[in-house]
Amino acid sequence: MTQHAIEHAQTRLLAPNGLEQSQLFGDLQRALDVQADYADLYFQHAYAESWNLEDSVVKRGSFGVTQGVGARAVAGERSALAFSDDLSIASVLRASQITREVIKSSGPQRMAVPLPRRSAEHATALYVADNPIQLASAAEKVALLSKVDELARARDARVKQVSAFLQGSYETVLILGSDGRLAADVRPLVNLTLTVVVESAGRRGTARAGGGGRTVYDFYTEGRVQHYVNGAVDAALLQLEAVDAPAGTMTVVCGSGWPGVLLHEAVGHGLEGDFNRKGSSVFGGRVGQRVAAQGVTILDNGALPGLRGSLSIDDEGNPGQSTTLIEDGILTGFMHDDLSARLLGVAPTGNGRRQSYAHEPLPRMTNTYMVNGEHEPEEIIRSVKRGIYAANFSGGQVDITSGRFTFAATQAYLIEDGRITAPVKGATLIGNGPESLKHVSMIGNDLALDEGTATCGKDGQSVPVGVGQPTLRIDNMTVGGSA
């Protein structure tokens, strides 16, 4: 697959523009003459489309093609990026020249430390190399969205509005480095989401569901679409019966799968290498220390086949891999791109990610999740005298420096005497990520990854990711409610 990806990328990106690898590698070497530690070229070509259904009609559609090159030079802690959407040899060389001038003007910075890396030569292909946009006709895509609308309205007469959004992309990347690295990847990605609004007796409920991954549109079988529809409609209908959530400090049980977004936001970002290198993470300097309760093991795994957050290679040419961040409550390491790895004297972990050729790579999560414990989910519920069961979340706010977070539970229930009872509305979880990990008292055996809808933002860049966890019991969490 790696050789196939390289040949595909060369045909797509280099050959049509008269670009020769030997000339490009020679130009990258010139960056080292101005005291750069490393330089690279990141070529990208991407098809992308989207389709929107509202009021039972597909009203909007778009299709676009982007391509370009980002030239980067790194010296010490400094890096320079110049990019162009013109792939002529003159434009590529000009972008490289700009980065050299920036590095040269910044004064002596070079560390002269070899850049640790893992060879992409034997990287595993984690997804198909097919183009989802070309493999399905426009009529088939419209029919898919119409089926979503049909199934949602047939699910319950109280469904009043349905909107659905279908996205597909097909990306080719090629990376050349001054150390001789040559790596490429071909990345399909599809996503289907729906939102339903239900109304009854003057009350309204809204919910969202969907999924996707690095695959093609055949992924959306009628059974899978029905699963999404059932989840959205049933969650919206529960809101019609919801009572006000209680407020106070109590036990919270978080469901498996998507609730791992709390872990992603409240803990995951603090385990990214740049935040720790800069001293802005609450986890900084704590490797080898206990940061979570016994039994808590957290991985970032970019090597899971077909998942939205997976990468055969990252955006610096390092193979996707599984990295243990916390093991049995002990902090074991961080996620690194090449720069943070070199500055901290460790190996990169396949977490160098960039939104596009016009952005610099940063240490970013891929698929981040907590591994299984030993408890049955029902056992965890039975253990709670009074608390909240949070089955689903919307986005939250997190302070990386302090670890404090606020998350809204969009699908939540009371737990009373070991039983899930009434659905509640207005429940907000408030806490501190590292402290919350210390209060994990039971871990389920039902690990699930999310359905494939998550997108993570950092420093103005957005990338697809995955989140997950088993059912968790967290004690002494603050719940903001209205009752």
Q: Can you give the pLDDT at residue 198?
A: 98
* Spatial separation of the C-alpha atoms in residues 388 and 391, rounded to whole Å: 9
Q: Can you give the pLDDT at residue 403?
A: 80
Q: Can you give the pLDDT at residue 402?
A: 80
* Spatial separation of the C-alpha atoms in residues 223 and 293, rounded to whole Å: 39
Interhelix angle 222-239/138-155, rounded to 10 degrees, is 40
SS3 229: helix
Examine the pLDDT at 439 and tell me if it is beyond 90: yes
- Banded pLDDT at 11 (limits 50, 70, 90): very high
pLDDT per residue as tens digits for the range 233-259: 999 999 999 999 999 999 999 999 999
Q: How far is CA 351 from CA 317, 354, 441, in A?
A: 10, 10, 30
- Whose tokens are 């999404």? That residue is 228
Where do the domains of the chain lie, and which CATH numbers do they carry? Answer: 2-239 (3.30.2290.10), 243-480 (no CATH)
Q: Can you give the pLDDT at residue 280?
A: 81
pLDDT per residue as tens digits for the range 277-297: 888 888 988 999 999 999 999
SS3 22: helix
Neighbouring CB atoms inside 10 A of 63's CB total 12
Examine the pLDDT at 220 and tell me if it is beyond 70: yes
Examine the pLDDT at 162 and tell me if it is beyond 90: yes
- Strand pairing report for 38-54 and 203-213: unpaired
Q: Can you give the pLDDT at residue 113?
A: 60
Examine the pLDDT at 112 and tell me if it is beyond 60: no
Radius of gyration of the chain from its Cα atoms, rounded to whole angstroms: 24
Q: Can you give the pLDDT at residue 114?
A: 62
Examine the pLDDT at 172 and tell me if it is beyond 90: yes
Average of per-residue pLDDT across 139-144 = 98
Is residue 271 a contact partner of residue 334, using CB atoms and an 8 Å limit? yes
Is residue 415 a contact partner of residue 391, using CB atoms and an 8 Å limit? no
Examine the pLDDT at 230 and tell me if it is beyond 90: yes
Examine the pLDDT at 59 and tell me if it is beyond 60: yes
Examine the pLDDT at 343 and tell me if it is beyond 80: yes
- Strand pairing report for 362-363 and 248-254: unpaired
Q: Can you give the pLDDT at residue 482?
A: 66
Q: Can you give the pLDDT at residue 116?
A: 61
Neighbouring CB atoms inside 10 A of 105's CB total 9
Q: Can you give the pLDDT at residue 117?
A: 63
Stronger pLDDT, 276 or 68, i.e. the higher one: 68
SS3 427: coil
Average of per-residue pLDDT across 199-209 = 95
Examine the pLDDT at 413 and tell me if it is beyond 70: yes
Most confident range (mean pLDDT) of 72-81, 121-130, 338-347, 460-469 is 460-469
> What average pLDDT is seen over the chain?
94
Examine the pLDDT at 7 and tell me if it is beyond 90: yes
Average of per-residue pLDDT across 126-142 = 97
Q: How far is CA 1 from CA 129, 174, 185, 205, 317, in A?
A: 9, 14, 9, 46, 14
pLDDT per residue as tens digits for the range 69-111: 999 999 988 999 999 999 999 999 999 999 999 998 877 666 6
